[in-house]
Structure 1
Amino acid sequence: MIQPLTGKASRSVELATARFNVWEGAVRSSKTVASIIKWMRFVRKGPAGNLIMIGKTERTLKRNVIDPIIAMVGASRAKYLAGAGEFWLYGRRIYVAGANDARSVEKVQGLTLAGAYGDELANWPEELFDMLGTRFSIEGAQFFGTCNPAGPVHWLKSKWLNRAAVWLNHDGALVEGTGEDLIDLHRFSFVLEDNPHLPRAFVDSLRQQYQGLFFKRYILGLWVPAEGAIFDMFDEDTHVVSDLPLITRWISLGVDHGTRNPFHAVLCGLGTDRRLHLVRDWRWDSARKRQQLADVQYSKHLRDWLKTVPVPGTDGLYGVKPERTIVDPSAKAFRVQLHNDGLPSIVADNAVEDGIRTVSSLFSAGLLDVHESCAELIREIQGYSWDDEAAEKGVEKPLKVADHGPDAMRYAVHTTRGVWRSALRHRLHLPD
């Protein structure tokens, strides 16, 4: 049920009168609902002409924005036509598009727009946002968009938000921009507490779940740099265990493939305690072993190893069959080899920051641990760090050093979130 807008959310709707209007800040802070309300008003009363809605992907746009709109106004006034790439609202056709790569620029080239809505702006290619801004030639055309914060030198922050003519800031104060390079943009910054309708227990759960970088971004709504250790919430005393419960589902085997670099596989299971466990891992470091293996050899070693994995909570049983074998996207030939050997695999979801966020949330919530036998994985988790030089250029990524175990872990956990999420829902709240 959609609650009535209050406080900053209500105020932002009334202030969203600029050519560009951006709601940004904490998760679950009511920024998306406020932007949706304004967008629906614009669709009804705005100038005639083409309209478009863009998300990171069409799927996330539907989940984050289109589905809530349909829930608000009913199926008689809102209809999503997935195959046609259209969304009809109040009798107006709205084009729908994803912004998943630089080629998405082609989706707006040549369009003359009366209005546009954008979801997850910080995940867009910069070229798409720049191109979209040139399409508003109809008098009264406006843009409305939302995002969670990223780094302070991100293009959206440095080139657009910092130049806002009006800023409703995190404290709720209305600040007028200064300088000669201001643009017709109104910026609305939200913190978690700006949503008064969230239950206190839910808010407390979110605040406990996020730590470090993600606490500052997703709870405080700040555009802060990624510094130091990525999994700074990881504590050997807490997250490394010697005893495991009975595993009810062998969720996945995540594989980071390497020939000259280490090959690392991590086995993830769901326990009777409704927590995820990284039960065992297998690693081949060709530099240490002084021997490189071919894919056919990796496949045999991996399959033989799975037969030797001890089954927790049983009296001496060995051998497991993971429901999914998940391999990094670059290892196409290895996936073919696995298939030929009777071990089908799927391509890992390699959205790095999203995957890091998922794993971080699980560690912070106490819903993921690592068995003590995974010595190399434990070592690499603690050394997994952000690339400072890349961050200075506005790109956030981990250092490509000692990252093979964390990558395999990320593949195993993040790619399967649709499988385990319902079992952990009672204690885990991941943002979209």
Structure 2
Amino acid sequence: MLRDLAMPLSPKQITSIVEAEDAPIALWSGAVSSGKTIASLIAFLIALVAAPDQGLIVVIGRTLQTIERNIIDPLQSVSLFGPLARHVHHTTGSTTAIILGRTVHLVGASDSRSEGRIRGATIALAYVDEATLVPQSFWMMLLSRLRVGNKSRLLATTNPDGPFHWLRKDFMARADEVGLTSWHFTLDDNPSMDPGVVKRLKAQYTGLWYRRFILGEWCLAEGVVYDMWDDERHVVDILPAMQRWTCVGLDYGTVNPLSALLIGHGVDNRLYVASEYRHDSRTAHRQMTDAQYSRALQDWLAGVRHSAGTGADPQWIFVDPSAASFMTQLWSDGVPGVAKADNSVLDGIRSVSVALGSGLLSVHRSCAGLIGELPAYAWDETAAAKGDDKPLKIDDHSVDALRYALHSSAYEWRGLIRTDLKEAA
């Protein structure tokens, strides 16, 4: 099978593939783009051929879409798997695939209720993509379903999380007891990686995310969230001309402050938080209705001053998804581009960290609420000690608005990051 592959393998990848054949539970852990997924997929194909006819074969991920993107698409890539790719058949949206002639069930495991999808099943072979994102209750249920004698096997991949995450604490730290074999991968273990791509990846991550996703460390989320923030580096007094107004991120509040941030794409191919609207009912001594907020938002955008004159027309207005009534008001008032923000907290924090750490994002000095919140926005160390990465819910209105804006539009701006941005910043 290895002779059919279209890409080179590192000694670490080959070792893991060989050793995985005798491991009841095999775990590939480490940096992003380090070759661990390719090695694990090759091991999965070998295990698939040898899997007993009794019992199901399952591939598990956060959602069906992530399974298709992270597992099925690579397996169907001729540039990766050569002629083997022709034996991987899947219709987008289907919960099964045919791989090397075997039926494989694709199971999303986004929350604890997902365990019902495998309850009562007998599973011969399981592959788990991004195991730290799978609920612990689902993982434990999965282990109880691996019951084809000593022939059942579990293969999994993951990026590192906190040192107290259940996967590390209850399984990796007790490897011999639970029958787990694991391998740690770094970027240097992937012989297919272009040096320029490696350089760009290292430029995109800083702080916690650099330690986890580049160095592959299982480290604690502690201290300030945006430890790369530097007033002197990130705050600007003069904005360049804008190619376009990308979006607004809006965190809704009635008793708590409402904060809206306008993001522009400058002619220098960098992003700028160009303006901020903020209403704090406590300091203003009055609350505003949804209709009043809608009017205030439109007036604020119409009054934004910039090099080309006055007024901003953002492509999108990403609103706190819990603010359903306010979105309805905006739609009723004919405000264009209104959409629910992506409220994935950790992924959103990572998007903001990438933009700040790479030097892609700057903030205009007039955005006092955001500039005041960023340096003090901190991780909840009590939650971290329990294995959860959560920021403290204190003074987070503008930073939430920034997260909504950048993460919801990440697909538009990630391609702007160049390795020279970090070096020049």
Q: TM-score, normalised by structure 2?
A: 0.92
Deviation sequence 1:355-390 (CA, Å, 0-9, x none): 111111111111111111111101101111001111
8 Å Cα contact 1:362-1:428 kept in structure 2 = no
Question: Where does the alignment leave 5 or more consecutive residues of structure 1 unmatched?
Answer: 166-181
1:37 is displaced (CA, Å) by: 0.6
2-side partners of 1:83 and 1:63: how far apart?
A: 11
The one-letter code of the counterpart of 1:13 is I
Deviation at 1:204, TM superposition (A): 3.0
Distance verdict in 2 for CA 1:267–1:364, change over 3 Å = same
Aligned to 2:12: 8
Distance in 1, Cα, partners of 2:314 & 2:108: 33
1:3 deviates by 2.3
Aligned mates of 2:130, 2:287 — CA distance in 1: 42
Counterpart Cα distance in 1 of 2:110 and 2:420: 30
1:425 and 1:205 map into 2 onto residues whose CA distance is 7
Structure 2 gap segments, 5+ residues each: none
Instruction: Tell me, in whole angstroms, the C-alpha distance in 2 between the residues paired with 1:420 and 1:249.
Output: 12
Q: Is the 8 A contact 2:358 2:417 kept in 1?
A: no
1:14-52 deviation digits (Å, cap 9, x = unpaired): 111211111111111111110011011111222223111
Matched, 1:89 2:120: no
Q: CA deviation at 1:417?
A: 1.2
Identity level (%): 41
Q: Note the C-alpha offset of 1:263.
A: 0.4
CA change 1:327–1:190 in 2 (3 A) is same
Is the helix fraction higher in 1 or 2? 2
1:19-418 paired onto structure 2 within 5 Å: 19-48=24-53, 49-71=55-77, 72=81, 73=83, 76-139=86-149, 140-165=151-176, 182-311=177-306, 313-314=307-308, 317-344=309-336, 345-418=338-411
Task: Give the partner amino acid of 1:151.
Answer: G
Q: Which amino acid aligns with 1:3?
A: M
Contact 2:9 2:191 in 1 (8 A): no
Residue 427 of structure 1, CA deviation: 7.0
Q: Which amino acid aligns with 1:5?
A: L
TM-score w.r.t. the length of structure 1 is 0.91
The residue that corresponds to 1:174 in the other structure is: none
Superposition RMSD in Å: 1.8
Aligned-residue offset at 1:416:
1.1
Between the aligned partners of 1:203 and 1:428, the Cα distance in structure 2 is 15
Structure 1: how far apart are the matches of 2:198 and 2:36?
Answer: 16
More divergent stretch after superposition (202-211 vs 95-104): 202-211
Given that 1:239 and 1:368 are in contact with CA atoms closer than 8 Å, whether structure 2 keeps it comes out as yes
The more displaced of 129-138 and 94-103 is 94-103
Structure 1 CA distance, aligned partners of 2:380 and 2:99? 44
Code of the residue aligned with 2:32 in structure 1: it is V
Aligned length: 410
